[in-house]
Amino acid sequence: MPQPTGALPLQGVKVVELGQLIAGPFAGKTLGDFGAEVIKIEPPGEGDPLRTWRKLDQGTSVWWQVQSRNKQSVALDLRHPKGQEIARQLIREADVLIENFRPGTMEGWGLGWEDLSKLNPGLIMLRISGYGQTGPYRDRPGFGVIGEAMGGLRYITGEPGRPPVRVGVSIGDSLAALHGVIGILLALYHRKANGGKGQYIDVALYEAVFNMMESLLPEYDAFGVIRERTGSALPGIAPTNAYPCKGDEYVLIAGNGDSIFRRLMEAIGRSDLAGDPEFAHNEGRVRRVEEIDAAIAAWTTDKPLDEILTAMTKAKVPAGRIYSAKDIAEDPHYGARGMIEQVVSRDGLTVKVPGVVPKLSETPGSIRSTAPRLGEDAEAVLRRLGYSAEEIAAFRTEKVIG
C-alpha cells in the first residue's frame, strides 16, 4: 500500500465547515483525509444531528467516526451576533468555507458570499443545497433523497411494474459532496496557478445526481425513450444481471463484451449460443436478452456461488458476489487494499471504518485523528484567533460557544 513520503497534498489548506449531516461534512471529511485542516462548526447543545443517527455507542453514532475524522470541533451559535463575529474571524484566515444550508440562511447571519468575499478575497466557498442558489426552486427545502428523485435516479431504480425504490444509502448527498470537492480543487488550482481570486461553488443535489444519469436525457430527446425500471439488469446492454445460485444466493455476471460473451457461453456449456451470429454484437443480444438470461440462470441455479465464481474467473468473465457488511468486513482484498481501518473513538470504542479513497502513490491520505467530541477544540481555536481566556469564559457564559 502507498505510504506517505512527505507532506499530504492538502497540507496547509484551512477549511471551515459549517455544514451538517451528510453532504457538506462528507466534503470536509474528504479534504481532511488528504491533509486539510478542517474546523467544524456545530450548534451548541446537541451538535451536528449526525452525532445521534443510526447505531450509537455511549450516545454517539458510530457513523460519526467516519464522517468527522480528521476534524476539529467548535460549538458556536451562529444565530448570536458574537458567534457570527467569531465565524468571520475564522473565515478571514480560511482557504475554503463549506456550507449546506438552505439558500438565504448564511445571508441571514451576515455570512453570505458578498460579505465574506470582501472580508477574504481569496476565499473559496462551497455551497451545497437541494436546488442551487438560483432558479425558481431555490427556496424549497431539499434533502439528498429529493435530489435523487428529481435527478432521475429514483424513477429507474427498482423492479419493472413496481414502485420505484431508493438506493440503500444517501447517494445524492455523497455525490453532491464529491462534486463539491472537485469544485474546490479546481478553484484552489485556479487561485494558485492562474493568480485568480476566490470564488463560490454552487452545487445542487439534484444536479449532482443528474450528472450521473448517462444516456437518460439524449435517448429521450432523440428517440422519445423514457428509461424504466429494469431490476438488476442494465438496460440496453446484455447480458449483465444477477442470477440465482444454490442456497438462496445471487451472483452478478457481466458478459456484455463480445468476446466475453463467447467465453461465458462456452463456460456454461452453450456453444450454440456462443456461435450464434445474432449474438456476436450487443445489439443482437439485447433483442434476445430474455433467452440469454434464462440460459445463464439455468446453469447457475443449482450451483454454489463459489463454484460459479471459480468458473467465471477461469473463463475471464467479470462476476462477483453481492456483498453484505459481513462479507466486506471479512474479505481479504478489502484488507490488502487498506480499505478497512481500525480506529479508537474518544469514548474508547475500537471500530472498523472505511479507509481513504482515492489512493495516491506519493502523497496518500490518512486517518490522523478520530472524530472529536462536541466543542472540544473551541478554546484552542479561539486562543489562536487572539481571544483571551476571559473572553472565552464570557462566551461560554453567554452560550455563544458550547
The residues annotated with a catalytic role in the active site are 173
Instruction: At 242, give phi and psi (nearest 5°).
Output: -100, 130
Contact 11, 39 (CB under 8 A): no
CA 85, CA 78: separation in Å to the nearest integer? Answer: 9
**CA–CA distances in Å: residue 313 to residues 44, 254, 308, 333:** 54, 12, 9, 15
CA 344, CA 367: separation in Å to the nearest integer? Answer: 11
Owner of C-alpha cell 443510526: 54
Contact 184, 127 (CB under 8 A): no
Contact 361, 1 (CB under 8 A): no
- 340: which strand partners? 354
CA 312, CA 235: separation in Å to the nearest integer? Answer: 22
Say what angle helices 171-193 and 23-33 make with each other, to 10 degrees.
Answer: 50
Q: Is 362 helix (H, G, I), strand (E, B) or coil?
A: coil
DSSP letter for each residue of 267-307: HTT-HHHHT-GGGGSHHHHHHTHHHHHHHHHHHHTTS-HHH
CA 82, CA 109: separation in Å to the nearest integer? Answer: 11
Contact 37, 14 (CB under 8 A): yes
Grid cell at residue 26: 462528507
Contact 171, 148 (CB under 8 A): yes
| 2-37 per-residue burial string, b: 16 or more CB within 10 A, e: under 16 | eeeeeebebeebbbbbbbbbbbbbbbbbbbbbbbbb
